[in-house]
Structure 1
């Protein structure tokens, strides 16, 4: 994932975590009832909703619900099937949503139980630090990254920390100008162009970019590959825990 002040617009930012039509219970106006709206759950842990699917990306959302710390669960008090409610951490309002099937209800509520903003908060914090202010890095040093748009290798001062590679213009930079969140990436030594040895970072899906980096020599490439793999593997238990959590029955996934 691209790290920096423009993280939400970066080329390596994944697609929304979940999107689709839901019925939302209205709590204002003369007639109370259910209205069909287009919902988009994004990786900043916010739920955006629009009047129509065609408005997504073209018009401002009708409203945004912040889900970090929210309580989400099924509800049977309204006498309607496939209903779940959401109580945000701040404020007193409770939102009621209705899916078109039980499968959709489970899929959407499970998405909301996760807190994807937590690792993003850490990476944003680190990205705003000078390189030597990042505490206990897994590795640091100069790497060249292939800029495929310009077909040239660009040198960066790099900090590897907790499965994220931060890219700086130099050691005296005040903040990272980009970065790669490496969870799920495959790391290997590969030839690229005229170079017989480079570090290839291959993403888990086509939603992300493949990156090629190069140290000063093949031995340094091998060293970086070892430490990058180790940095990613430190977070595999967390990744597996989230995977197991999403597979649990709905009645067990209470906050």
Structure 2
């Protein structure tokens, strides 16, 4: 059911908003100081129709194609769901936690160890490798969070409380925690340690990817795939031929195969790939981001075989 009709007039080649998903598509981002911002469009709006064409059953690429079909004015019928969707889109580490439960958190007052107090809090380890804690399991606003990069998790048998452990990093405030039983403590130590290890692996992967960014295409060791792709730019129909190298879930873009370094890269962890009809190109495909605020990519090749190779 349509809640509102908004009109967005293109300026400088752009409307100023991005969409996410398919059947239906949802407004996922609105750029500042653009026509979309002043039109009344809001993040979380479900797009029902574009210029009187119903798009509820249209794919993402079909809606994008329709929006860039030549008109400088878009009349959008939308269903307003901002009160429901916006918090989901914006909340860091949104989604189901990797692990959650009650733990005892040690609070030490400034006056010293005599004022140490254990307080029960609800803890959630989320997919962004952060450990959040809340007053209780009914709260949605965390009291605090710990990003687990470069931390260690170890038992603390001399804490004065059984089943206790600490999550610490040199030069940073940590957490001293305790479970209600041995099984719970062991499980928490395992999941937190695994998250710390995953953070370390990600840091190493990012360091290697940053180094590869400065290399020529031929200097990237053992690439997973390489060759020319047509890549869609910021503006619809602005296809550019780029030499691309795929290495360890990272796609590097070069002006051509003889470039000294990459123009840029995109880290593809969590992305999905699917066929596309973008720009009416026969051998097109699109790469869909795991989060709506991340960028959507379109490519096409010259042959079906090359498309399958990529």
Shorter-chain TM-score: what band? 0.5 to 0.7
CA separation in 1, counterparts of 2:244 and 2:250? Answer: 10
CA separation in 2, counterparts of 1:75 and 1:153? Answer: 63
Kindly indicate whether residue 228 of structure 2 is the aligned counterpart of residue 146 of structure 1: no
CA separation in 1, counterparts of 2:103 and 2:230? Answer: 46
Query: Unmatched 5+ residue regions in structure 2?
Result: 1-88
Which protein has the larger Cα radius of gyration, Structure 1 or Structure 2?
A: 2
CA separation in 2, counterparts of 1:213 and 1:127? Answer: 23
Partner of 1:25: 106
**What secondary structure is seen at the aligned counterpart in 2 of 1:135?**
coil
Partner of 2:206: 123
Report if the CA contact (8 A) 1:167-1:178 is conserved. Answer: yes
CA separation in 2, counterparts of 1:23 and 1:167? Answer: 49
Report if the CA contact (8 A) 1:18-1:108 is conserved. Answer: no
Q: 1:166 to 1:109 in 2, by over 3 A?
A: farther
Q: 1:196 to 1:65 in 2, by over 3 A?
A: closer
Q: Which has the higher contact order (CA 8 A, sep 6+)?
A: 1
Q: 1:136 to 1:26 in 2, by over 3 A?
A: same
**What secondary structure is seen at the aligned counterpart in 2 of 1:123?**
helix
Q: Deviations over 1:218-248 (max 9, x none)?
A: 3321221xxxxxxxxxxxxxxxxxxxxxxxx
**TM-score using structure 1 length:** 0.53
Aligned CA-pair RMSD: 4.9
Partner of 1:71: 153
Report if the CA contact (8 A) 1:131-1:168 is conserved. Answer: no
CA separation in 2, counterparts of 1:152 and 1:79? Answer: 65
Q: 1:91 to 1:29 in 2, by over 3 A?
A: same
**TM-score using structure 2 length:** 0.46
